[in-house]
Structure 1
């Protein structure tokens, strides 16, 4: 066993000591406030970005590209990982969390613009993103830099995942759907690690969002609306 596993087990000792009595209220059931769909990127600390250390508060899903869909014999549907809390645990909020410099979005961009190929498992994931991002790639200005293109497509991908949730007949109508971008690369105005809200129930106009939610107006920001 390597040192990484030993270090992780040592860290878990501290976790278990701190949380020993904090699972009492969720021993038999869970009713999380929100399901978050994050990218698996190691720089996106899914619970810590919300300051969460409460068992049972967030139902966290992760995959490369923060996708909400999966491909089945019935076509593309909302992934069971995302759908489960919305249908079975009374969760009424879904948050799609993109992040700056996303590797999955980058790989999809390269696939669409230069035919990049990868291992079959990664190509499967890219294949789920590519149809949603293709129109976004086409809409990019010719003079936009590669880095700027990727970060605009990060927003575009979040929008498409929000759309998929809103349009799915499997997602209850009362569920609030929000799209955000987590920035640790100084792309938006703000602090590293800050969440920027870019989409609320399909609305992407920052001015309208600020008017609708004046108490959190400073949290709305977008790089691009194609």
Structure 2
């Protein structure tokens, strides 16, 4: 793919980022006291957000959060590898967020139209020996559950996304720091779904096993 460049030969994507940074610096100067406080005080985020890396799903935008309010982990398909998996990226963030920052809420948020979840629905199989293929194996339990339930094709992707979020909540509980926090009542875990068409968040209700509007 050929990179688009301006008349000076600058990559347009990088130029856009540079111009965006310039606007941020102007905002920074207007809110200097706020950013100075962020830089000098210990961070105290209100929750740990484990979400998808999809560029269209921006946690701070969805929750209208200011800098310093969200401790974020974003990866393809908002995966939480089990504690015994050969990947400590998410586990390290959980340990740091809960154990060192004192976070008392963890949100796992999926979204409609997730390309990561859709990857295993595609007719062309992923190479399980490659990084993406290995990572997508974490989504397989949800696919197997929805396939067994014979969910209609037009509903399959969204229902798989929901099931995947529920499996990630189970995976969270494989971490001792989470399991112990939940048992002690000092930590809550939440499964959310962001609808890209409506802008609405829905939440998984473990009491009913269903989903409801976050604001209901």
TM range, normalised to the smaller chain?
0.7 to 0.9
Partner of 1:156: 163
Larger radius of gyration: 2
C-alpha spacing 1:120/1:166, structure 2 compared with 1 (3 Å): same
Unaligned runs of 5+ in 2: 1-9
- Paired residues of 2:46 and 2:105 also in contact (CA < 8 A): yes
Aligned residues: 196
* Residues 1:124 and 2:124 aligned together: no
Q: Do 1:61 and 1:82's aligned partners in 2 also have CA atoms closer than 8 Å?
A: no
Report deviation, 1:148.
1.1
CA–CA distance in 2 between the matches of 1:205 and 1:220? 17
Q: CA deviation at 1:41?
A: 0.9
Report the CA distance between 1:19 and its aligned residue.
2.9
1:50 is matched with 63
For residues 1-226 of structure 1, the aligned pairs below 5 Å read 1-20=10-29, 21=32, 22-28=34-40, 29-52=42-65, 54-69=66-81, 79-110=91-122, 116-118=125-127, 120-130=130-140, 132-141=141-150, 144-145=152-153, 147-171=154-178, 172-173=181-182, 174-185=186-197, 192-199=198-205, 202-206=206-210, 218-219=213-214
Name the structure 1 match of 2:7: none
Gaps of 5+ in 1: 186-191, 210-216, 222-226
Task: Note the alpha carbon deviations across 1:153-185, whole angstroms, 9 max, x for none.
Answer: 000000011111134213233211111110013
Partner-residue secondary structure (3-state), 2:135: helix
Q: CA offset at residue 204 of structure 1?
A: 4.7
Distance 1:149 1:117, change over 3 A: same
Q: Does the 8 A contact of 1:197 with 1:220 survive in 2?
A: no
Change (3 A) 1:218 1:129: closer
1:101-125 C-alpha deviation (Å, 9 max, x unpaired): 1111111344xxx671248121121
Q: Distance in 2 between matches of 1:194 and 1:218?
A: 8
In 1: Cα distance, 2:114 partner to 2:49 partner: 17
